Structure 1
Amino acid sequence: MLETLLDDPPLWLAPALLSADEADRLLHHLDRVLAWERPTLRLYGREHPIPRRQLWMGDPEARYRYSGRVFAPSPWEPAISALRRRLEARLADAGIATGFNSVLLNRYADGEERMGWHSDDELELGPDPVIAAVSLGAERPLRFRWRHREGPAFNVWLPHGSLLVMGPGVQARLQHALLPRRLPGLRISLTFRRVLAERSPDR
């Protein structure tokens, strides 16, 4: 069952998409078998390593351009491909159309590793993307703030095995961040999305 956190724009949470045992197995499997990377991003003319490890995965055409780099996806890992099918079926039952062709995986070794303020609004994702985030490992809050100060900032705590769905309009009206906290434990997030076939110029 999806719990509605916001109606406009739509934001939903399923605290237990996966059972504790399923989430444990998937967390340890992905931590062990994936070739985690720490890419650099160019900011103000300098290269900076990101404060986490990540991996872009998906269909061969699911490429996107960000901060002067073109990210080409790794092939689907079988356990993640199975999770995608399960996730799409769950969302279809709730009347949410997806068609995910890619996933960004982020690995946070502890609470000091982080993700800064942003919206997933790359042109390749289209004007109103649906993005579904599965969280594994240490529970941390995803912080949201309104772009035009429509209301107060708020936290959404993401338990082990949970699903957060950001519906149409969320990326246009809200930003989100995983801010550093003094919390121990490994966390892996998987954000499923659909990259459009059209290529767009660098932002």
Structure 2
Amino acid sequence: MDFQGSLFAAPEPEVRDLADLSGLERRPLTRGAWVDVHRAWVPEADEVFAALVAHVPWRAERRQMYDRVVDVPRLVHTYAVGEALPHPVLASARDALSAHYLPELGEPFVTAGCCYYRDGRDSVAWHGDTIGRGRTQDTMVAIVSFGDPRRLTLRPRGGGGDSIAIQLAHGDLVVMGGSCQRTWEHAVPKVAGAGPRISVQFRPLNVF
């Protein structure tokens, strides 16, 4: 696609130090879960988005659903431990998050999963990152959003409470922590008329 910064409603934020996370706002959830949000955290967001579109080796996946195999409605790629990320701002973001959350998390963020939502028809269904250590231990997943705004929705696993929605815009950061992956689920629902959006999810080792 031809990248145009004007596609996105939010203006480019001022260039600043990614280590400055003083703008984080925490929202406690139930069952020991919480979410942190920082608006317009990433500088040079247009440039990072363009690099992600152009340089990530995107792939389409298929999965079994009941009695048939269907296309996964988004493109994906994961950068494993030690692999170079497609833009230096992303490496700086990962390092800043690792330093900031080390007292709570006790370990760094080491992988970067990328999802490319090409338009409003692409989505991700309700789930938690409960493969690996996330199934039994509190952990964190930090998501940086680039491109058109999309809603991240969360609900208590198994019901018993209200769902919430966080509108993520160009350069925004959201961190799901505490018991969030075990006791809550999250999704990115389909929406009419959305443009392209890419999320980069930083995770600790063995959290999927």
Q: Same fold (TM over 0.5)?
A: yes
Matched letter for residue 66 of structure 2: Y
Aligned counterparts, 1:32-181, within 5 A? 32-44=54-66, 46-59=68-81, 75-79=83-87, 80-92=90-102, 97-125=106-134, 127-181=137-191
Matched letter for residue 79 of structure 2: M
Deviation at 1:82, TM superposition (A): 3.2
How far, CA to CA, are the matches of 1:134 and 1:49 in structure 2?
Answer: 24
| Dislocated runs of 4+, deviation >3 Å | 89-92, 94-98
Contact 1:98 1:194 in 2 (8 A): yes
Contact 1:139 1:160 in 2 (8 A): yes
Q: Identify the range of structure 1 (48-57 vs 7-16) with the bigger mean alpha-carbon deviation.
A: 7-16
Unaligned ranges ≥5, structure 2? 1-22
User: What fraction of aligned residue pairs are identical, expressed as a percent?
Assistant: 27
How far, CA to CA, are the matches of 1:183 and 1:190 in structure 2?
Answer: 22
Deviation at 1:2, TM superposition (A): 1.0
Assess, with a 3 A threshold, how the Cα gap between structure 1 residues 129 and 13 changes in structure 2: closer, same or farther: same
Aligned length: 180
Assess, with a 3 A threshold, how the Cα gap between structure 1 residues 16 and 98 changes in structure 2: closer, same or farther: farther
Assess, with a 3 A threshold, how the Cα gap between structure 1 residues 16 and 95 changes in structure 2: closer, same or farther: farther
Residue by residue over 1:98-128, the C-alpha shift from the partner in whole angstroms, topping out at 9 and shown as x without a partner, is: 4112111000111111001111111244522
Matched letter for residue 144 of structure 2: V
Matched letter for residue 193 of structure 1: R
Unaligned ranges ≥5, structure 1? 61-74, 198-203
How far, CA to CA, are the matches of 1:76 and 1:45 in structure 2?
Answer: 39
